[in-house]
Structure 1
Amino acid sequence: MERRPLLVTGVALAAVAAGGGALTYAMSGTESTTGLDRYSAVTVDGEKGLSGTIAAGRIASKYSPLPWIGGETSDLKCPDLKAVAGTEVTCTAKDGDGRDLSIPVTVVRADASSVTWKFERA
């Protein structure tokens, strides 16, 4: 019995598994840096901030990028996010079964031109 085909198959399966793991890791990120420009910036309590519509769109695209990451969402809404490190807001949505979801969002860092923020999956 020749072992070479078995070895090649094993190496190929390991490569596919590693690639799948790397893809899952890359797609499951919850941190985002968004530029504050005339389209995305708003004023929140006298401070520059990120439009809740922009944050909701980004969360919607990242919440369930692959079937095994997160779950389906609908009716995602976020309040405007003040561009000050430590600011926390809660976005709301419905899950695939129609139940209410609360999605915490936190500003990690901010400067005059961008805000870095992250969300948590339920």
Structure 2
Amino acid sequence: MHPNLADLFVVRSLEGVRWRSLPQGRTNILLAVIFLSFVPVMNLFQSNQLEFAWWVEINTNIPRCIYYFGPFDSEKEAQLYKGGYVEDLYQEEARDIVALVKQCQPDVLTIFQEKLEVLSGT
């Protein structure tokens, strides 16, 4: 008679991996251990889906635009690069520049004046 798959467990040895039958009544314990060993991995994937990357968001009035630069792995990294993006936009004659670092997932990296007017209703 062949044991059920749930009644087998893996034994590591010097020769490799082999299957071995569990004693009666130990199946549920093994399944619980296997399940619990995957819980932190499942939580890791779930938390990654909920967290957004760090981005530099820059608003300018001249021209009237919103720019997104990123993604960055950390807030510190985004802060490090923020000044360079502001300087580049200033050199391209952008004015009234406001820059901030935030976690988000922008759909569009540059939003131009026409789109801002449609969104604001003006």
**Structure number having the greater helix percentage:** 2
Same fold, judged at TM 0.5 (above) = no
TM-score tier after normalising by the smaller chain length: 0.3 to 0.5
> Over alpha carbons, which structure has the higher Rg?
2
Q: Give the TM-score normalised by structure 2.
A: 0.37
Q: Give the TM-score normalised by structure 1.
A: 0.37
